Structure 1
Amino acid sequence: MRFLFILLTSCLVNAQSLDLSTLRVAYKDAAHDSTKVESFFQSVSLVSKQDKVALVAYKGAAIALKARMAKSIKAKKEGFIEGVSLIEHAIEKEPNAIEPRFIRLGIQENSPKILGYNKDIATDKAFLLKQFKHIRSANLKNHIKDYILQSKVFTDEEKSLISGL
């Protein structure tokens, strides 16, 4: 019984002590380099739906990215659905949190159109543009800015607006 308590406590402490700055870099790296997906996935593997919404959204992104490497189409689809459901849960839990919206936009923009996971691109794009100037974390602001500047869903005018902030 004591062992179980220690194990649960260490899992809870680990999930709560994840550094968002580190996760942001790991997410960006994993999105661009498939050899880094497993490491990113392992870093969020202990996150549960009860954790901060940003952590839940990153776990969803890790599962969705990992699904791309699955062997069968069925496994790819199931993994993608599991990952997306965590991202959607995070947004439902805190609709005005910017980080889960940022993550969802990135996943939607880079998902195959056949999956049909693209209905919120315009909404999330507008949300990011509107909320960008209110982001307090310089680290998060820089990550979102970097994403916007390389994204195909943002216009040149929107990119120049963001690069000036």
Structure 2
Amino acid sequence: MKSIFVLIAAFFITIQSLDLNSLRIAYKEAVQDKTKTEALHASLEKINKEDKTEFIAYKGAVIALAAKHTKTLKSKKEGFIEGVTLLEYAIEKDPNNIEARFIRLGIQENTPKILKYKSNITEDKLFILEHFKNIQPSSLRNHIKDYILQSKAFTDEEKSLVLGS
């Protein structure tokens, strides 16, 4: 029954034109819900390295996120590596893409230390803060602001700067 729901949800998401705003919302929900992670993972299956940087970054993040729901340690590790490799490719492809950096920051901040994937937190945080006022569209700026305000990576001073923007 659960598999049918996942397939229907994935089909529904794929049928709709996949726009970035919908993807942002779906990703935020997928972080909290295994079923939504599976549906989003399925809907991003056709995304490849020639697509927009943001789509590639979200696909990598969702692959890494889906890995935590697999059964074996080996599949968790392989899925995580596949996901972060794709995410890193997106950033390498477009190093000034604030959304890709934001996605990586979220993954690195919330990844267990044992995975040793935390080396860009300060770099991405500073990049985001430096470019925050110029983020367009405003829906992306608000999405990033919401994350910053609940993040432990940002100081209270940095959060107040974002609130003042």
Q: Under a length normalisation based on structure 1, what TM-score does the superposition of the two structures give?
A: 0.88
- Identity, % of aligned positions: 61
* Whole-angstrom distance in 2 between the partners of 1:39 and 1:149: 28
In the alignment of these two chains, the number of paired residues is 151
* RMSD (CA atoms): 1.3
Q: Which runs of no fewer than 5 residues in structure 1 stay unpaired?
A: 1-13
Distance between the aligned counterparts of 1:150 and 1:31, measured in 2? 14
Q: Which amino acid aligns with 1:87?
A: L
The equivalent residue for 2:39 is: 39
Q: Distance in 1 between matches of 2:100 and 2:152?
A: 19
- Residue 21 of structure 1 corresponds to 21
Give the gaps of 5 or more residues in structure 2: 1-13
Q: What SS class does the counterpart of residue 114 from structure 2 fall into?
A: helix
CA positional deviation for 1:36: 1.3
Equivalence for 1:112? 112
| Match in the other structure for 1:81 | 81
Once residues 118 and 108 of structure 2 are traced to their aligned partners in structure 1, the CA distance between those partners, rounded to angstroms, is 5
- How far apart, in 2, do the equivalents of 1:146 and 1:79 lie? 28
Alignment partner, residue 140 of structure 1: 140
Deviations 1:93-145 (A, max 9, x none): 00001111000000000111000000000000000000110112111101100
Q: Which amino acid aligns with 2:125?
A: K
Aligned AA (1:90): A
Q: C-alpha separation between the residues in 2 aligned to 1:153 and 1:25?
A: 22
Query: Which residue is 2:159 aligned to?
Result: 159
Point out 4+ residue stretches in structure 1 off by more than 4 angstroms.
none
- State the distance in 1 between where 2:85 and 2:112 align: 17
What TM-score do the two structures reach when normalised by structure 2?
A: 0.88
The Cα shift of 1:43 comes to 2.0
The code of the aligned residue for 1:39 comes to A
